[in-house]
Chain A
Amino acid sequence: MSDAPPDGALTRMARWAATVGRIPRLVFGSLLVAAIFGAVINLTMPGSRASTVVGIFDTSFVESTLRIAVPIVFAGLGGIFAEKSGVINIGLEGLLIISAFTAVAVTHLLGGDAQSTVWIGLFAGVLASTLLALVFAVLVIEFKADQIIAGLAVWLVGLGLAPFLSIVIWGNVNSASIATLNTVTVPGLAEIPVVGPILFDASPIVILMLVTILVSWFVLNRTSFGRWIEASGENPSSLDTAGIDVHRVRYIGVVLSGVLSGLGGAGLVVGRTGRFIGGGQTMINGDGFIAITTYLFGNYNPIGTAAAGILFAGLEALQIRLQQIPFIPAPTELIRLVPYVAVIIVLAFVGYTRIPSEVGEHYESGEE
């Protein structure tokens, strides 16, 4: 690297863009193109139908996209840690459900109005998800349970428990309403056009999500713990040889997936919806499964994973917006399906993501 040309900001950005992978480049690129395209349409034909459609994509669209992205991105990041360490966690959906429910339940039981109780609810939701992930970890690491079956069990436990307890508490699968977290406004910075309201006048959960993306990237790529996680999934015996306990690394990986999914599920209810909806597939409605697809898309890179998650959330936000435009006969139900179809196409044609080689394999240390 010493003979690299002197780093200008542009070359550094280009180099960074080359490292983040195809999906984020695609996402950021299409966003940029869309923004330019939208601006042109708005300027050339104001008031037309085209500009109404383009008008969807304003800062509040970005804000709602980021809010919708919360459970997907957090669970996706969590899934990276578990799967990189060698444990595929199909149960992310269940972790999201249990944390969303617990956050609402605890906040409700504490009164439900004061901001402090909402924060406690958030914490409780994270705790519940972490505990369930710990059970999952014990099952697959200690008891050598099949990871897919155990993951399904986590999902079904969440899917069973949350609506049941909702009925016990509220007499209905849907909860009562609780307060949500106030937005955090950074004075001064919030005045910056476009970026200001999105980043500096936002829900604390959204800010936490953006920070977590960067922290996850740093941990996985720049710390020795990140290398252990990688080795634990790719070549556990080498990690063992180096004197690192593979089981412990996997425990941490799975528990981290619980913590992060907990932030996602609890963050969803305390940051946006303010209640738990338990009918059918519950309010989580497949976000945990979409999360799995985001890290496959992002090739286990937190930046790529988050970009995919935000892209999918954007489709969801788009669908909601399109429903409000009367002259669009768009089959909005079908827009929701785009991520799912996209994943299949990616798996089938673009070439599948390289899954860590020892994922799903129980590791037995030679000493035992």
Chain B
Amino acid sequence: MSESQYPDPIRRFLRLFVGNSVVERILISVAALVTAVVVSSLIVLVAGYLSGEAYNPLEIFAVLVNGAFGSPFDLDSARLITEGWSPINFSMGTTLKETTLLIFAGLAVAVAFRGDLFNIGVQGQLVLGGLAAALALVWVAPFVPSGLVGTVLLIPFGLFVGAVVGGLYGAIPGALKAYADANEVITTIMLNTIATGSAFFLVSAYFADPTLQSVKTRPIPDFARLNGIVFPQGGQFSLVALALALLATVGIYYLLRYTSFGYDLRVSGKQAKAALYGGANAERMVVSTMTLSGALGGIAGAMWSMMVIGAWRQGVPSIGFDGITVSVLAGNNPIGVIPASLLFGVLKGGSNAINFQLGVPPELVAVLRGMIILFIAMPEAFRMLGNRLGVKPDPAATAGGGSDE
């Protein structure tokens, strides 16, 4: 891999993760997760001591997970199941809503990673995709019959607009990387701020809802939103969206695994020279990969607008950054994105419960997020620990996918 002309942490990263066996990656993710929980528990203990409140980490994590599903287990009494609990409840809706958005954001990051590109810019693609979808729906809705026909027409339209705008915005760092050799890590970080700033400017200057004081677009008409069919309206979660997310996951898996496009993407990520011999256009591959990645991010943004807010407003949550954590935790495997997203969905869905029931700041989830990615960044540490404990690594699994030449 000495032919690379750029600092190639990404390549080394892939060598560490993607090259290794699935089992080892899962083990590393689980080990990182457990360590993150343990360290966060210590932080919670110290924080509780500082603030004079006796926080019990075990209780916090139990309430967190339990709360994410609407408290199916009655933790205070001997009864196992809470009376009157139903799987269809507000907290479950919140958890699955976050999961849905994270699946798209996680897929966006994972696709780029597979092509040896680090798309930190999913957040920006998401912001602009969401804004474009909201504006397009607000403009187009008056010309479309309301009711079911309108819904069937407008929902795909909104998602499509989000995907196109997100994809175009993702293509920018792709083209800069391919044709001007500009490091995509730096450019995507810059483009995130540019997206947030210009979206804020556009809405506050031109597209704000005149009846409101805040920086928010006009509302998307009800029939053009992804409404909760099964889950209570207030939960801001649509089963259709989750189904689309799962479908997208399978689609991306299939695309990467069984199509020639996916083959070129993976090969140009791992072995640029081999891809060239195979006839792939490396530059175009970089742009396509980033476009696909950006489109997925744009869909996440469109879903945020159409499902969660029903408009676009400033202060888009950091779904794109969480997508990085999700993808890293999933070892950049599309299928792995589902459990990783569910995990972060649970963390977010349960953060309200620890706040209301225990008075623990929901920001604890952000601490956990930081710790998880911190420990997942050091697979070697776990491997060394494993060796010291006498676990001999399987030579085939640790050879780094043979990419060490």
Task: Indicate whether A and B interact.
Answer: yes
Binding site for B on A (CB under 8 A): 88, 90, 135, 139, 142-150, 152-154, 156-161, 163-165, 167-169, 173, 280, 286, 289, 292-293, 296, 331, 333-334, 336-337, 340-341, 343-344, 347-349, 352, 355, 359-362
B221 → chain A, closest Cβ, in Å? Answer: 29
* B43–A161 CB distance below 8 A: yes
Among A159, A164, A340, which residue has its beta carbon within 8 angstroms of that of B47? A164
Report the stretch among B8-16, B233-241, B276-284, B300-308 that lies at the interface.
B8-16
Evaluate whether A161 and B194 lie within 8 angstroms (CB atoms) in the complex, with A333-B204, A347-B183, A360-B8 already known: no
Among A143, A149, A343, A348, which residue has its beta carbon within 8 angstroms of that of B13? A149
* A157–B374 CB distance below 8 A: yes
B185 interface residue per 8 A CB criterion: yes
Q: SS class of chain B's interface: helix, strand, loop or mixed?
A: helix
* B367–A160 CB distance below 8 A: yes
Taken together as a complex, chains A and B put the C-alpha atoms of A117 and B319 apart, in Å, by: 39
Evaluate whether A164 and B180 lie within 8 angstroms (CB atoms) in the complex, with A153-B377, A333-B197 already known: no
A86 → chain B, closest Cβ, in Å? Answer: 9
When C-beta atoms are compared, the residue in chain A nearest to B193 turns out to be A340
Binding site for A on B (CB under 8 A): 6-10, 12-13, 16, 43, 47-48, 50-51, 118, 120, 176, 180-183, 185-187, 189-191, 193-194, 197-198, 200-201, 204-205, 315, 321, 324-325, 328, 361, 363-371, 373-374, 376-381, 384
* A149–B361 CB distance below 8 A: no
When C-beta atoms are compared, the residue in chain A nearest to B366 turns out to be A160
Taken together as a complex, chains A and B put the C-alpha atoms of A243 and B7 apart, in Å, by: 25
Q: Which residues of the other chain, B, contact A293 by a CB distance below 8 angstroms?
A: 186, 190
When C-beta atoms are compared, the residue in chain B nearest to A355 turns out to be B7
Evaluate whether A344 and B361 lie within 8 angstroms (CB atoms) in the complex, with A160-B370, A333-B200 already known: no
Evaluate whether A156 and B182 lie within 8 angstroms (CB atoms) in the complex, with A333-B204, A340-B193 already known: no
When C-beta atoms are compared, the residue in chain B nearest to A349 turns out to be B180
Taken together as a complex, chains A and B put the C-alpha atoms of A153 and B366 apart, in Å, by: 11
A-B contacts besides A152-B377, A337-B198, A347-B180, 19 pairs, CB < 8 Å? A143-B381, A146-B13, A147-B9, A148-B13, A148-B185, A149-B376, A150-B377, A153-B370, A156-B369, A160-B369, A160-B371, A165-B47, A168-B48, A168-B361, A333-B204, A340-B193, A340-B197, A347-B183, A352-B181
* A340–B8 CB distance below 8 A: no
Q: Which residues of the other chain, B, contact A173 by a CB distance below 8 angstroms?
A: 363
* A296–B180 CB distance below 8 A: no
A293 → chain B, closest Cβ, in Å? Answer: 7
- Return 7 A-B CB contacts under 8 Å, by A number: A152-B324, A153-B370, A169-B51, A286-B193, A347-B176, A347-B187, A355-B6
